[in-house]
């Protein structure tokens, strides 16, 4: 799995990536767990703004395919938890826009 994440980072952000560590993240909202899983931290080289990237994947609902997330370590995103939170907010905003179209 780490190799898939590495390739996703390199493809999306046009840089080289090397695995650093895995971090367990549990994101709660209103007392309920909205996301739980492993986030892999990679060191990256060749990106003009970041030296780390947080990456994970999840199954696409109703499919056997995976969606890959690769969030750069650029403030205010400076922890795996903040990367997950930002992706959740991004996805919610995207889904809300679709509903109003």
Strands 52-59 and 32-45: antiparallel
With H, G, I as helix, E, B as strand and everything else as coil, classify residue 96: helix
pLDDT at position 22 over 70: yes
Please give the average per-residue pLDDT across 28-46, as a whole number. 93
Q: pLDDT band for 1, please (50, 70, 90 cuts).
A: low
Q: Please say if the pLDDT value at position 52 is more than 70.
A: yes
pLDDT in tens, 5-15: 999 999 999 99
**What is the rounded average pLDDT for all residues in the chain?**
91
DSSP 30: T
pTM over 0.85: yes
CB proximity list for 50: less than 8 A, separation 6 or greater? 13, 44, 72, 73, 74
d(CA 72, CA 78): 9
């Amino acid at each position: 799995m780490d190799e898939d994440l590495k390739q996703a980072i390199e493809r999306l952000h046009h840089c080289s990536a090397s695995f650093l560590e895995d971090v367990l993240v549990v994101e709660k909202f209103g007392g309920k767990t909205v996301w739980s899983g492993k986030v892999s931290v990679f060191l990256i080289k060749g990106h003009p703004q970041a030296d780390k990237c947080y990456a994970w994947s999840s199954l696409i609902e109703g499919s056997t395919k995976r969606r890959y997330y690769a969030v750069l370590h650029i403030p205010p995103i400076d922890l795996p938890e903040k990367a997950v939170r930002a992706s959740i907010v991004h996805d919610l905003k995207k889904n809300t826009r679709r509903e109003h179209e």
